[in-house]
Structure 1
Amino acid sequence: MAEEHAPVITEKRNGVGWIRLNRPKALNSLNVEMVESIYTTLRKWREDEEVKLLCLAGEGEKGFCAGGDIRSLYEAKESNVKEMAVQFFGVEYKMDLLLRHYPKPVLTLMNGIVMGGGVGISEGTTYRIVSDNTKWAMPEMNIGFFPDVGASFFLNQMPGYLGRYLALTSTVIKAEDVIYARAADDLVPSRQWGPFVKELEEADFREGDVNEKVKAIISRFSEKTDVFSLQSIQGKIDKHFRHNKVEKIIESLSAERNDKWAEKTLQTIRGLSALSLKTTLEQIVRGEHASVLDCFQMEMELSMNFMDNPDFYEGVRSVLVDKDRNPQWTYKRLEDVTDNMVTDMFCYFDSKDYHPLAHYENVLHGNKYIH
């Protein structure tokens, strides 16, 4: 039986393993307890012959998952923040990696808000279904952090330099553009969402071809779309965000005259932490030709170093605590952040043996005993 008050509800039904995020009042944001619960369940069901298909969903009407519970790290800044961070990010990244390499099909119901850690869960799954209520973003720039949960990899899989634009501006996009960005596969309109989910819950996947059954259900309820607002500005995005230095991106945008999009984009970037901006662009450049595992290992180093970054705590304060949206960054100007400072952000663990993801390549090759 599912425990209705647990932060993660798990249930097996008709060959489907359901994992439901159950903190609707917090928009299903992920805490340590949740990522450990999901990771444990994923490992258990990987070997469970009763489970033919995994379905991931969020309880409540507002969203699948708004990201990680970053406020808890903020509150621990004067005590055990490093201990908490290595535990949370270490397990979260293992969970995301396991989903990317899961031996069974995984379907994610991306209704409502899907941001940060929610994107990390959905991104590597087999079937990613959005609705016209979906609001997708990697909003880490707003809190003086960096886009993690595999963003070094998946942002580089998007058309042109779209990933850089979405990361450096924290732009929120809707369903059609999530599909255009290759971060979702199909759109089920909100009027069909309830019947679609009910069909998934009632269908029997215990026998027959699971993928054929899933695709048939999706095709009955989904709608095709060829209207993408991002597509109309893809040329502009590529022109300005192809540069590998933030200064060059700003210079390029500044050269535009009477372009409201360029002006708005420039204003957004200039209001962000210079250390976050420079580190994030370097992260995406490094991830361009890296493996998924290499990207997650790199992000683990970054996550830990950001726990020493005053702009992270100031960003969280301004967005999640005081909510004044008026951060007073320590690193206001790009010239205050040297190349060496950026390079140092990518080195935290003294030895690979101490890295939480050091030997995780075993899970990518089916080692069922990996922890």
Structure 2
Amino acid sequence: MTGTTGTGLPHSDDPVLFHIAGRAAHITLNRPKALNALNHEMVRRIDAALTEWEHDPAVQAVVITGAGERGLCAGGDIRAVHDDARDGDGTASAAFWRDEYHLNARIAHCAKPYVAVMDGIVMGGGVGLSAHGSVRIVTERSRIAMPETGIGFVPDVGGTYLLGLAPGELGTHLALTGAQIGAGDALLCGLADHFVPSAGLRDLVDDLAALPVHEAVARHEQPPPQGELAERRTWIDLCYDAGTVEEILHRLLGHGDPSAKEAAETLLARSPTALKVTLAAMRRARRLGSLERVLDQEYRVSCAALGTPDLVEGVRAQVIDKDRNPRWSPATLAEVSGADVERFFAPLGDRELGLGEPGTAPQAAW
């Protein structure tokens, strides 16, 4: 069902499609060959559509899906970010993130139901387009992740806010490792609300045209499959409660559970700088409280990452050359100092995102 909205497969070459069917307005991410990776044009178009639908009394809900069969959205267009960081001055990426993070906050404040169909792959920027919504549908095909540390980056799009709300230290585990989770674990971690089998999505979307969202979802919702994280909570909470990445690794390696050792091996392959900044960002996000203030922090971190070698190297190794052998700099956790981490959180002056300032939070106009 991924990629259909009750009226057939998208056929336009536009990167994002819009239509209204009955009570529901539909957004279809339409770059299936790129797994619907999000670019700046798509962000602008989605924001403009939401503005238009605010003033349309016929629109009672917004539904977002992805074209193709693989997933909703694999994240932001990191090739473009890579090229900007390597060859440009970073202004294009900063402008993209500014508008993207504003859109994330706007989705979170949407006064009409915002129904995200999180079928298939949903990662990075795709999480930002979906998990801030008020009605989040997962299926047996859902694979959800914030995999940024694997490319020398840090979870953004409100990811540190969302993962900070997960039970215990589950969010820390997911943020540091970038592990993919299925439907049951997404529900456990608060990234989704309802499970609907993928075979029932077309009928669900059809019902959204005629019924209130809660009635349509109730018709198709089923008990979710069991996840894996609940039975791993004991070692996850124990190991990730440590104050440093080094201590987390020490606990994981010494725990004895094979899954803990596997997590440690994953961390050892990640960017040391990204790991330390991610842990600091997660801990700070919990204290900041609001999504807007966390997005402000993430914007500082993202802009700072543009000036470091690991983001360019990580995208090169994982996405462009695909040799899966990034050469991180610094290469070890011991070489990443506290001052190195603090630089990611330095104020930006007049370049701040500014969402968390009094009177600047998105206001629901619907």
State TM-score, norm by structure 2.
Answer: 0.92
1:50 aligns with 2:58: yes
Amino acid at match of 2:48: T
- Mean Cα displacement is larger for which, 96-105 or 3-12? 3-12
Match of 2:265 in 1: 267
Match of 1:286 in 2: 284
Match of 1:101 in 2: 109
For residue 354 of structure 1, report the CA deviation from its aligned partner. Answer: 2.7
Instruction: Tell me: CA distance 1:218–1:359, structure 2 relative to 1, closer, same or farther (3 Å).
Output: closer
For residue 42 of structure 1, report the CA deviation from its aligned partner. Answer: 1.6
Amino acid at match of 2:186: V
For residue 363 of structure 1, report the CA deviation from its aligned partner. Answer: 5.4
Preserved CA contact (<8 Å) 1:64 1:111:
yes
For residue 270 of structure 1, report the CA deviation from its aligned partner. Answer: 1.0
Match of 1:322 in 2: 321
Amino acid at match of 1:185: D
For residue 361 of structure 1, report the CA deviation from its aligned partner. Answer: 5.5
SS at match of 1:172: coil
**Structure 1: 5+ residue runs without aligned partners?**
206-212
Calculate the aligned-residue CA RMSD, in Å: 1.9
Match of 1:125 in 2: 133
1:25 aligns with 2:33: yes
Match of 2:200 in 1: 192
1:12 aligns with 2:12: no
State TM-score, norm by structure 1.
Answer: 0.91
Preserved CA contact (<8 Å) 2:110 2:364:
no
SS at match of 2:313: helix
Amino acid at match of 1:29: A
Match of 1:148 among 153, 156, 173: 156
Preserved CA contact (<8 Å) 1:39 1:94:
no
Match of 1:250 in 2: 249
Give the Cα–Cα distance (whole angstroms) in 2 for the partners of residues 37 and 55 of structure 1: 15
Give deviations 1:62-102, integer Å, cap 9, x for gaps.
Answer: 10010000111112334334111111100000000000011
Preserved CA contact (<8 Å) 1:46 1:102:
no
Give the Cα–Cα distance (whole angstroms) in 2 for the partners of residues 227 and 111 of structure 1: 17
Give the Cα–Cα distance (whole angstroms) in 1 for the partners of residues 87 and 332 of structure 2: 30
Give deviations 1:265-309, integer Å, cap 9, x for gaps.
Answer: 111111111100000000000001211111000000011110011
Match of 1:364 in 2: 361
Match of 2:83 in 1: 75
Query: How is 1:274-313 mapped onto 2 (pairs within 5 angstroms)?
Result: 274-290=272-288, 291-313=290-312
Amino acid at match of 1:278: K
Preserved CA contact (<8 Å) 1:160 1:238:
yes
Instruction: Tell me: CA distance 1:107–1:363, structure 2 relative to 1, closer, same or farther (3 Å).
Output: farther
Instruction: Tell me: CA distance 1:365–1:109, structure 2 relative to 1, closer, same or farther (3 Å).
Output: closer
Query: How is 1:226-245 mapped onto 2 (pairs within 5 angstroms)?
Result: 227-245=226-244
Match of 1:34 in 2: 42
Give the Cα–Cα distance (whole angstroms) in 2 for the partners of residues 227 and 178 of structure 1: 11
Instruction: Tell me: CA distance 1:71–1:107, structure 2 relative to 1, closer, same or farther (3 Å).
Output: same
Give the Cα–Cα distance (whole angstroms) in 1 for the partners of residues 152 and 13 of structure 2: 33
Preserved CA contact (<8 Å) 1:114 1:135:
yes
Instruction: Number of aligned residue pairs: give it.
Output: 356
**Structure 2: 5+ residue runs without aligned partners?**
1-9
1:342 aligns with 2:346: no
Amino acid at match of 2:261: E
Give the Cα–Cα distance (whole angstroms) in 2 for the partners of residues 340 and 329 of structure 1: 18
Preserved CA contact (<8 Å) 1:244 1:282:
no
